């Protein structure tokens, strides 16, 4: 951490601050420039509250050197994390495909789609039982009834289940059924939920918040990991920008950037990012070319009857085409 003092700060004030920082366990290196005096703090500064230092009238601002995350950082954990989900590996260099409907709607709907995506080579079944919706008047999910159907689909197809958990209260119920617990974009900074997920051992799919920076996203991963759960899978699902033709803007730079910064696996959700089925295939191919560890894709056999997000769901034949294209790129990319 580097403390930039305001031009003209008296020497005795600077000396006082130096002592204060030393008392906090840091060693201090002072550089006096023409206008600004800098105090470089050496040591573990993650626990110093920047706001306390900035409250000092003579401090102009702080420049941070260390990343604020540690457990999620590649610097302290150089090898890739591989998450094991009932024997399926995520992050081992292959592309994992998670597919299924946005929401579980009925036994017939779920089993039809589950079998369709299984036949096309999907590895994991997705389906929402608790749905976070912007409007209180929208369908909120089948809740535990939906979880039971997911369990049934797993028994029939053998595919592990990924489903969303939306609050601490229903966490244990969801955990009893899920193989991967998804924390949605709007809950990325629901710290109570992150702590709860950290006390579990079930893998967590952590979606990036609507306008979260990568650093904030990794800090949310850090919350989960610091409570004891190392099985975090990052999921880029598009960020909010000024663009109106797409629902969100898929940030594919997050894929190589996260590979540099962190050892955690990263997957991409092109369905929520674009909000339009016609863009799911090109964005899936792009994600794979960029080096992603997996995809999570909405598929519905009757999207115009889907109770949520039909606009972004692929029909089965489009999903089959996507799987072929994605496999080809994945092969080429791994050469």
228-267: contacts with a second copy (CB under 8 A): 239-246, 249-253, 255-257, 260-261
Q: How distant, in Å, are the alpha carbons of 20, 197, 316 from that of 188? A: 35, 12, 31
Letters for 87-126 (x = contact with a second copy by CB under 8 A, - = none) are ----------------------------------------
Residues in 193-212 that interact with a second copy by CB under 8 A: 193, 195, 210-212
Single residue of 15, 19, 22, 66 touching a second copy by CB under 8 A: 66
Residue 75 or 86 with smaller CB distance to a second copy: 75
Smallest distance from a second copy to CB 270, Å: 9
d(CA 218, CA 305): 37
Output DSSP code: residue 106. -
Single residue of 308, 319, 322, 323 touching a second copy by CB under 8 A: 308
Smallest distance from a second copy to CB 203, Å: 19
Smallest distance from a second copy to CB 156, Å: 26
d(CA 241, CA 247): 9
d(CA 294, CA 90): 8
Residue with tokens 């974009």: 185
d(CA 86, CA 84): 6
Q: Is 145 in the site for a second copy (CB under 8 A)?
A: no
Side-chain-facing half-sphere of 107: CA atoms under 13 Å:
6
- Tell me which stretch binds a second copy (CB under 8 A): 52-60, 84-92, 155-163, 173-181: 52-60
Q: Is 10 in the site for a second copy (CB under 8 A)?
A: no
d(CA 314, CA 303): 7
d(CA 299, CA 318): 9
Single residue of 19, 22, 25, 42 touching a second copy by CB under 8 A: 42
Q: Is 79 in the site for a second copy (CB under 8 A)?
A: no
């Amino acid at each position: 951490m580097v403390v930039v003092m305001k031009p003209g700060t008296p020497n005795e004030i600077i000396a006082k601050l130096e002592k204060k920082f030393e008392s906090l366990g840091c060693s201090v290196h002072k550089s006096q420039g023409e206008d600004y005096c800098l105090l470089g703090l050496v040591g573990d500064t993650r626990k110093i509250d920047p706001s306390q230092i900035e409250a000092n009238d003579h401090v102009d601002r702080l420049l941070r050197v260390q990343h604020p995350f540690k457990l999620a950082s590649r610097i302290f954990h150089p090898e890739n994390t591989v998450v094991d989900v009932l024997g399926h590996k995520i992050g081992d260099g292959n592309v994992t495909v998670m597919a299924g409907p946005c929401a579980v709607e009925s036994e017939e709907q779920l089993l039809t789609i589950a079998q369709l995506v299984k036949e096309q080579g999907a590895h994991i079944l997705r389906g929402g039982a608790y749905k976070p919706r912007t409007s209180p008047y929208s369908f909120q999910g089948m809740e535990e009834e939906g979880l039971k159907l997911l369990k049934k689909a797993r028994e029939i197809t053998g595919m592990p289940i990924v489903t969303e958990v939306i609050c601490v209260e229903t966490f244990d119920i969801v955990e009893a059924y899920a193989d991967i617990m998804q924390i949605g974009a709007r809950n990325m900074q629901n710290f109570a939920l992150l702590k709860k997920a950290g006390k579990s051992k079930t893998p967590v799919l952590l979606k990036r918040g609507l306008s979260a920076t990568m650093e904030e996203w990794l800090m949310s991963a850090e919350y989960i990991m610091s409570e004891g759960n190392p099985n975090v899978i990052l999921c880029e699902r598009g960020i909010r920008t000024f663009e109106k033709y797409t629902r969100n803007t898929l940030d594919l730079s997050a894929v190589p950037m996260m590979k540099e910064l962190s050892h955690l696996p990263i997957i991409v959700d092109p369905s929520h990012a674009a909000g339009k089925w016609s863009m799911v295939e090109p964005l899936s191919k792009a994600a794979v070319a960029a080096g992603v560890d997996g995809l999570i894709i909405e598929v519905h056999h009757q999207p115009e009857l889907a109770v949520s997000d039909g606009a972004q769901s692929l029909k089965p034949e489009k999903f089959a085409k996507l799987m072929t294209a994605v496999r080809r790129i994945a092969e080429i990319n791994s050469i």
